[in-house]
Structure 1
């Protein structure tokens, strides 16, 4: 890797600039080479396929049940806040409620604790497909949080922009956990007791949308339909509370620094297929659009549970590598958790083009989560039920497996674009 110390930046600008320009043709070649490699690798991984077990009749029946809950149909009232059920609960139910509230608070401390809690739910009851999907997506949330302090990103944002971006990522992660984890725990308690506990959903301010799905899941174990319902629910849950919230619109989503993440390929969700091995996954183009987030989530689910090799290799990775937020967890040949000190003199694009892995001492700093971010307090959460229109019902369709999903090269190319942006910033400032 090139190391050009800049004691007097004017002296080294010409050489550094030429070094950067030389890397651009290589970057263009890398795109084409990466597409070819992705097609080949995807075709090798694609078989055998797994049956997702989607039942169209069940989905249609549940859609009709949700429609009966809509405002104006005798269901929920417009803009209703989700209130705890006023009916009396037995002593056993009270114990369940307190236990789940305690566990949720305990595991909602950070991205690391949430991610581990999701995997624990899946390991207890593997029919809870969404819990494994949430574990892997939450891992990526942690990677995106620590990227903000990585070697490649450290000079692309000021501290204020980093803080705002972190708060967006953390808020989404925390809110989804707060809503979904009690639902998973109610199922676990139901299995333990041998009776449905889903009459307690409203005590956790869960949308009325989810009740029919959990009640049907208790009877039929329709994992794919429940997973799609949870994807729809969680994306609607964060839509008004985060994505459309005036604070995040003003300080994050409208800022050039946010669009830099998309340009640099940091909108990737990757499923490691082993440590130092390949990556499966997808790219979300427009985070701010709820329809894209829902379809994106459905595609990730179909990839994870619809392709046998992906599921088995992801599970092996998840069980073997604890999540601490560093990208060194899946590519230790490129990343390190060791911070070597100020990196202001280093350029990265040419080395990433020329080397598959980087030698020890020259790897990219990707910190662990707790080394760079602490716990974050937030204002109280609004309790309104997002279920007000039938817009969500169009998403109750069978998830489709993506055809092109191996993305090791695309992920590398995203890193390369980030490195080029880093190097330009380094040379011109």
Structure 2
């Protein structure tokens, strides 16, 4: 099996392009077969279902509390003003604040440290469902960052565009952690002390939106409602700071390369199951749309905590496979975290069409995060509260489990599309 291009022969180049074109009908057939396989795999995993314990009355009561916090006529509400003034804190609270600020700074160094920190929170208190969801989504963030230097994608952008894409992914990952991790830590301290510490939320510039949810969670442990609230909060938190930020709009989101990344599977969020168990997950069509990101997150939550087999197998994977950012973590038969030499002229489409796994020495390079990206400093974070309108209230509804969620074949097909783009780039330059 050989992937190597002979640069001295134009006829061979033309023949390779023709061969790639001829493989397209086979790829289309593979999509259809993959859909059928996904239906069967999803049906096998779907039972037993888990009760998400969504309480509609509690959700309605919390919605009413949030409405009181929404500013009217351009002025903050009294409740919001009181929170902004920040009540005086006791000595014990001051120690808690300093501990959490220090820990957040330490754990926010990179995607690797953030991802591990989320799992540690969940392991301490499994009622913090969102922490496990965040761990799995953060793993995907790391995979997408390292993809930029992988065998399949390194030639699809120049170095500057790769850096811009990385900064978008890293900024989203870092900002969500900066906002959410102190919230999780306040709950952990509350459990340790046996008293609520959520009066300290405003000291971490957490949106007033979250206060009623944490206060109710302290009393009732309504995990699904808190998880949905955190999904709503974090997606609104990055909306103006990243997604709609003029810098990222100009250098990433408006560029054709961003849509190429979606074509290649940047919009796939996969949950690897226990060793050899395949992949589950979902595909988001429009990352730039706030409502889609929120509904997408709710669907991921319902999949993870609403399907028993998925939860147990995802947990087994998370606990036994440390996160380093390489896709070799879940597909070692296709990827390797070790660079095996120059690959600038390798072609991959045909071999990925014909082989399920690749032999050792010919696997695709998917580096670990810290091997290709260092820690990234940023400008100060804007401290405004995103809660300004009633728009967010419509998302306080019960999450719905997706019907089709096996992603093994679709994710593999995303790789094949990436390989096709890679090979065309090799043959035409």
- Whether these two folds match at TM > 0.5 is yes
Instruction: Tell me by how many angstroms 1:14 deviates.
Output: 1.9
Cα distance 1:82–1:298, how it changes in 2: closer, same or farther (>3 A)? farther
Call closer, same or farther: CA 1:82–1:40 in 2, change over 3 Å.
farther
Aligned length: 428
Counterpart CA distance in 1 for 2:209 and 2:306 is 25
Deviations 1:146-197 (A, max 9, x none): 0000000011111111000000000000000000000000000000000000
Report what 2:168 is aligned to: 168
When residues 82 and 322 of structure 1 are mapped into structure 2, their CA distance, relative to the original with a 3 A threshold, is farther
For residues 41-70 of structure 1, the C-alpha deviation after alignment (integer angstroms, 9 at most, x for no partner) is 000000000000000000000000000001
1:76 matches 2:76:
yes
How far apart, CA to CA, are the structure 2 residues paired with 1:138 and 1:61? 31
Q: Which residue does 1:274 correspond to in 2?
A: 274
> Structure 2: any 5+ residue segments left out of the alignment?
none
CA shift for structure 1 position 74: 11
* Residues 1:56 and 1:338: Cα distance change in structure 2 (over 3 Å): same
* TM-aligned CA deviation for residue 77 of structure 1: 5.3
Give the C-alpha shift of residue 20 in structure 1. 1.2
Say yes or no: does 1:423 pair with 2:419: no
Cα offset, 1:355, TM superposition: 0.9
Q: Distance in 1 between matches of 2:294 and 2:315?
A: 23
With 267-276 and 320-329 compared, the bigger mean Cα shift is at 267-276
Aligned to 1:376: 376
Structure-2 residue corresponding to 1:313? 313
For 1:7, the equivalent position in structure 2 comes to: 7
The answer to whether the Cα contact below 8 Å between 2:235 and 2:294 also exists between their aligned partners in 1 is: yes
Q: Is the 8 A contact 1:327 1:366 kept in 2?
A: yes
Shift of 1:8: 2.4
Distance in 2 (CA, whole Å) between partners of 1:115 and 1:395 is 26
CA 1:170–1:74 in structure 2 vs 1: closer, same or farther (change >3 Å)?
A: closer
Partner Cα distance (1:345, 1:11) in 2 = 16
CA distance in 2, matches of 1:195, 1:121: 18
Q: Paired residue for 1:385?
A: 385
Runs (5+) with no aligned partner, structure 1: none
Q: SS of 1:68's equivalent?
A: helix
- TM-aligned CA deviation for residue 11 of structure 1: 4.7
What is the Cα deviation at residue 17 of structure 1?
1.3
**Matched residues in 1 for 2:230 and 2:257: separation?**
30
**Residues 341-396 of structure 1, C-alpha deviation per residue, up to 9 Å, x if partnerless?**
22122111111111111110110000000000000010000000000000000000
Q: Deviations over 1:89-142 (max 9, x none)?
A: 000000000000000000000000000000000000000000000000000000
Contact 1:70 1:389 in 2 (8 A): yes
CA–CA distance in 1 between the matches of 2:60 and 2:383? 28
Partner SS state of residue 150, structure 2? coil
- Structure 2 residue aligned with 1:47: 47
After superposition, residues 97-246 of structure 1 pair within 5 angstroms as: 97-246=97-246
Once the two structures are TM-superposed, the CA of residue 263 in structure 1 deviates from its matched residue by 1.4
TM-score, structure 2 length as denominator? 0.97
Cα contact 1:82–1:205 (8 A) shared by 2 = no
Deviation at residue 16 of structure 1 after TM alignment: 1.5
Q: 1:119–1:131: 8 Å Cα contact kept in structure 2? A: yes
Shift in alpha-carbon separation, 1:82–1:371, aligned structure 2, 3 A: farther
The answer to whether the 8 A contact 1:2-1:348 is kept is no
Determine the C-alpha separation between the residues in 2 that align with 1:273 and 1:414.
Answer: 19
Alignment check: 8 A CA contact 1:133 1:301 kept: yes
